[in-house]
Structures are given as C-alpha cells and as structure tokens.
Amino acid sequence: MVFIPLVLFLMLRGETVSGSIAMLKMLGSGDRTAEIVFCTIFFIVCGSLNGTASSTFSREGRNFWISKVIPVKPGLQVRAKFLHSFLVTILGTIAGSLAALIALKLSWSSVLPAALLALAGGALLTAVNMAVDLARPLLQWTSPQRAIKQNLNVVIAMALDFLLLFAFFHLYKLLRSLGLTGDKLIPVLLLILLGSAFLAVSILEKKAAGRYQAISA
C-alpha cells in the first residue's frame, strides 16, 4: 500500500523523470474533474489492490473451524473482517494522497474529493474481494505465504478490481457526455460508489451464514 506511492515519489524527485511519469504529472491539467478521477483511480490502486481482502478467510487455514463454532454470528464476523481489510485501504489512500500532494504537487481541492471517492470505491472492492475468498477459500496450506502469494482468489479478485475500475472510468465518461461536470459530477459518482458499496457489504453479510456452514476446514 506504500510501495506504489513511494516509487512515484522517488521517480519524480529523481534527476531523470521518464516520459510516462511526466505524462502522469500533467494528466488532468486544466481539468479539475479529470484530475480528481485520475487521483481516485490511483488511490484505489494504492489502497485496495494488495490481496488483504481477497485472502481474508484463506488466511485462517485449518483454524477456520473456530470461526464456525464461536458464539458470534457469521454476518458480524464478516463485518469485523471487512473493517480490518478496509483499514488497509484507508492507509493506502493516505499514502497515495501524500504522494499526490508532495510528488505531483496537486492541491487539496483535488486530493480530498479524490480520497473520498477512493474510500467509497475501496469499500466496494473490499466487499467484492472478500466475496471471492468466501466463495472458495484456500484453507489447506502449510505455509502462510501460500494463503496470499499462491492463492488464485487474489488473482481473480484483482481481475475483478480492474474490471470495476474500468467500469468506473466509463461511468465517468458517460456522465460527462450527459453534461455533468465539476461540482455536480463528483457528488453523483460518490453517491453511486457509496450505494454500490453498501449493497455489496449487505449481500456479503447475508451470504455469510450459509457459506460458513458449507465450508469445511
């Protein structure tokens, strides 16, 4: 969650700046809405594409039976696991925001709304990634590293994340084509992301009870 912002910061602070990074620095120049959307995607990449949520249940391994027998409803357990994974998203968003402020020298007027959008989008991706792991957790492993680095769920979840980012960008383009810009467009995007995240988390909690009973550690 800090590697990408750190690399960006070091490359922009270095003596030689590649053409691609220079292009990133100029992206959205003169268009504050485009700048916010670019930062949003960057922050989501920093905060959500790390395998934390998509290995939530797999990391419990053979000890998953404990989660099945403790006197805590699966829905409540899932909510707690969601908050744990979302904390990583928050930290990644903060790291990305600092990189945007210091390395890209963007203003708070762009970074703050982008961070809010990224947190809403990160909540959606966290729920989706957890759903992937809940559907097919990898519980039989001998090394904890296998639960993340050799877990197909992480790859599947990242593919879904990129599809959702692609959909978000095209939603932004669609709303722009409908005449929404600036102060109107950003709140609409935020409401859509928040609604989608709430729906995804609610579905995840409802499906948890049935999945917990079906999973055998």
Q: What are phi and psi for residue 207, nearest 5 degrees?
A: -80, -15
> What percent of the chain clears pLDDT 70, i.e. is strictly above it?
86
40 pLDDT exceeds 50?
Answer: yes
Q: If pLDDT is split at 50, 70 and 90, which confidence band does 20 have? A: very low
Shortest CA distance to 130 belongs to which of 205, 216, 45?
A: 205
Mean pLDDT across the stretch 99-113?
Answer: 86
| 115-156 confidence digits (pLDDT tens) | 999 999 999 999 999 999 999 999 998 888 888 888 999 999
**Is the model's pTM score more than 0.95?**
no
The closest of 169, 176, 38, 12 to 113, measured between CA atoms, is 38
Q: Which residue has the tokens 């990449």?
A: 45
Q: Tens of pLDDT along 21-39?
A: 454 555 545 678 888 998 8
| 116 CB-side CA count, 13 A | 14
The per-residue pLDDT for 16 is 47
